[in-house]
Structure 1
């Protein structure tokens, strides 16, 4: 049978890290086995679902490079199929109508709580006579459909967790169709997975408790049961479920911060899975070839922001400058910086690419390439701006003005020659000049930065610093 998997998010929120990882595992497994990967939007919750969230999920998946087979499958277009399936189960004797009101059920829950026993529906409506049912119908009572859980035990083999057993006596006769004629999650999922011929259900292990209910529905219809693989949850560094308190959780937030999709894809693959060797940076093709569903770990994965940033920096470093230009330019323009041609920005990228973690860093850490510094690092002033620094820099500006071939090697030669003439260390010039033209203590090589900025800008910034820092001192 052809391998078929699906990613089935609810459009009640953005595509988050956990969902993206689940989608990637499904996609990798299908591509590895020459199968199909489907996208199903579970939008039966009309109040909480929105087109905006559907688009956000689609955009997130596309950004990661995940493509799906066939058109998107929307649950809202299949409501009649779910309703018909529920009535079919009633007809077969595997489900029954329940006329109990919410008030009645809540009272029974409170009674169980007072007695300190687990609440379980008492099957009152299973034993109603036809006359009692007709009476409730005439009264206009709302009714749900409950699945009749059989005796015995539900056992299934999970690819990640091994054999899992549930006693049916601990499973409530769960509702499969609400009183407003909308199906519940467990019912719709089974009908969809059967109709879509899904062979493998790969999802978060928070769904393990749903699995026995779904298997019981499969068995009631006599349908083939898919293979289940429940992957571990993703936790924050504090080992609590990943949430906004740990930082960004929506995939597109990482896109907007300047993470590369290849890096995010690569990193998410390693949250709960590894190829079994020392490889960390892997191409899509390598990941497809290496992916083995049986190597998914049982324990929860820890989301490490620092590791993601390292991986992203590796991907940035390995890209050609021209390719990076297309990616960096939108971030530069977002901050209001414009250039007549791309030559200058390419020079900036050349100097910065080994020093940034995300694309945004080209602008935030390299701000001095785009505008004169407005502040100067206080610690740098105290450390590098000595009594005679202003006098020495003023004199060196005259030397810069005479340089015709304003390139890094010539600038360096002139600076070191000047330092020798003044009998000072080269660092007595290098550090305060860096502070003057960047406002910072750290930057790429000073002479390369001076060349990229150009003679006019370099001189202007040194003179500005002489005026402003001398005042502060």
Structure 2
């Protein structure tokens, strides 16, 4: 079998992590099996679908490196195909026009709920042998309903949940086309999956109730249902289903917050799937390991702290040159001219081990691109004790004659500390203040390398005159 999977989002809002997981798993399954991954935009909800939402979907998937082999395919561009199949179903007696008004349906539902019955259409306009249908009302455009099988069950072996059986008596005759002729979601999905030869449908378990309806329509049209794998729900950190209403962040928010796409992808992979005890792995490893058997059945909870930890791991282990490229936009947003000052790659290399996000790196980098501090005599007196000036002078002399390496500067400090019988903080704090007007910096020997010998000596010399 040639594997073909799809991601079919509705562009009715921003795409969050729960949505992206429903893209990641079918993408990985297709890539693992050398199959095809199709991007399909289900935009038949004309009132709520927006181009901006489509753009966010495409940008988010591109950012994560979830490439597709076909698409994006827009359902609204396939309307003629859906109408063609509706006509075929009407001609074959698989569907029928229903003239029941919305008011009549609401009245029926109210009565059913009052009687504690399941709200469902009872087939008033369903043609049956020997049945007399009501007279067709004038001026009313009907909906088109699918003739769902009566009796028996829909049974499928879900790749995540195991065997699922739904009685046909629980399913009423689904509306497949609205009064204006626009096809409905569950109908379009079936035609798309058949036309696109989808072999595996991997999606959230909020679609479980749609599956028996889709299977019945597909079988009525002579199709073979794909393998279904319904992923467990993702809850937010408050225990609510992840959604925009419950404060879920969009993929753009994570980009703006300084997360790396590799970290997001790694996090999403573990949000309902596992490979032994592996926590941090590459996209290539994930594709190599991925299978449906390793998908979890239980609901999973979004853990922002775990995601931040993963982002730190990726930042810490990233190549400084690549990380500098990713960080520059954040630095520029902070007003940093990365071309005027120390080598930005060196600055990023110095800061990355302690940073959780790219924004944290950019904020830390700002220190190296500010003008040299113009310290007042009071500031010098308060932060650089007079007793430490001799040690500072010796340190400047040692720096001037040292190689411009972390190891050489560390040796210079050690030499001065031994000569003056003082501890590292006693010397390092005044040095930091003289260089940046703050005592909070990374390791001072590394700072000297990045700042540069000439600039460091110039700044230190101002406080020892």
**TM superposition score normalised by structure 1:** 0.85
1:295-331 deviation line (CA, Å, top 9, x unaligned): 1110112222222222222222333222222222222
**1:17 shift after superposition:** 0.9
Alignment of 1:23-38 (within 5 A): 23-38=23-38
Q: For the structure 1 residues 95 and 393, does the alpha-carbon distance in structure 2 shift closer, same or farther, using more than 3 Å as the test?
A: farther
Instruction: Confirm or deny that 1:230 pairs with 2:221.
Output: no
**1:29 shift after superposition:** 0.9
> What SS does the aligned partner of 1:224 have?
coil
- When structure 1 is superposed on structure 2, of 213-222 and 89-98 the one drifting more is 89-98
1:86-144 deviation line (CA, Å, top 9, x unaligned): 233233333221112212211222222333322221222226846712xx1xx201311
Q: Aligned residue for 1:470?
A: none
- When structure 1 is superposed on structure 2, of 397-406 and 65-74 the one drifting more is 397-406
> What SS does the aligned partner of 2:400 have?
coil
Alignment of 1:305-384 (within 5 A): 305-340=304-339, 344-371=343-370
Alignment of 1:286-305 (within 5 A): 286-305=285-304
Instruction: Confirm or deny that 1:446 pairs with 2:444.
Output: yes
- RMSD of the alignment, in Å? 3.1
1:203-231 deviation line (CA, Å, top 9, x unaligned): 11110010011011012112111110111
- When structure 1 is superposed on structure 2, of 446-455 and 348-357 the one drifting more is 446-455
- Check whether the contact 1:450–1:458 (CA below 8 A) recurs between aligned residues: yes
Q: For the structure 1 residues 401 and 102, does the alpha-carbon distance in structure 2 shift closer, same or farther, using more than 3 Å as the test?
A: same
1:51-107 deviation line (CA, Å, top 9, x unaligned): 222122111111111111134211011112222222332333332211122122112
- When structure 1 is superposed on structure 2, of 408-417 and 91-100 the one drifting more is 408-417
Aligned residue pair count: 452
In structure 2, how many angstroms separate the alpha carbons of the residues matched to 1:244 and 1:447?
Answer: 47
**1:164 shift after superposition:** 0.4
Alignment of 1:152-301 (within 5 A): 152-243=152-243, 249-275=249-275, 277-301=276-300
Instruction: Confirm or deny that 1:390 pairs with 2:385.
Output: yes
In structure 2, how many angstroms separate the alpha carbons of the residues matched to 1:300 and 1:396?
Answer: 62
**1:257 shift after superposition:** 2.2
Q: Aligned residue for 1:45?
A: 45
Q: Aligned residue for 1:118?
A: 118
**1:448 shift after superposition:** 1.8
1:311-366 deviation line (CA, Å, top 9, x unaligned): 22222233322222222222212222113378521221221121112222211244
Q: Aligned residue for 2:423?
A: 425
Q: Aligned residue for 1:471?
A: none
In structure 1, how many angstroms separate the alpha carbons of the residues matched to 2:190 and 2:282?
Answer: 35
> What SS does the aligned partner of 1:26 have?
helix
**1:425 shift after superposition:** 2.6
Instruction: Confirm or deny that 1:132 pairs with 2:130.
Output: no
- Check whether the contact 1:248–1:254 (CA below 8 A) recurs between aligned residues: no
Instruction: Confirm or deny that 1:13 pairs with 2:13.
Output: yes
- Check whether the contact 1:400–1:455 (CA below 8 A) recurs between aligned residues: no
Q: For the structure 1 residues 411 and 284, does the alpha-carbon distance in structure 2 shift closer, same or farther, using more than 3 Å as the test?
A: closer
Q: For the structure 1 residues 463 and 50, does the alpha-carbon distance in structure 2 shift closer, same or farther, using more than 3 Å as the test?
A: farther
**TM superposition score normalised by structure 2:** 0.87
> What SS does the aligned partner of 1:97 have?
strand
- Check whether the contact 1:372–1:437 (CA below 8 A) recurs between aligned residues: no
> What SS does the aligned partner of 1:229 have?
strand
Q: For the structure 1 residues 175 and 246, does the alpha-carbon distance in structure 2 shift closer, same or farther, using more than 3 Å as the test?
A: closer
Structure 1: unaligned runs, 5 residues or longer: 375-380, 467-473
- Check whether the contact 1:101–1:142 (CA below 8 A) recurs between aligned residues: no
- Check whether the contact 1:5–1:30 (CA below 8 A) recurs between aligned residues: yes
In structure 1, how many angstroms separate the alpha carbons of the residues matched to 2:93 and 2:196?
Answer: 25
**1:186 shift after superposition:** 0.5
Structure 2: unaligned runs, 5 residues or longer: 374-378
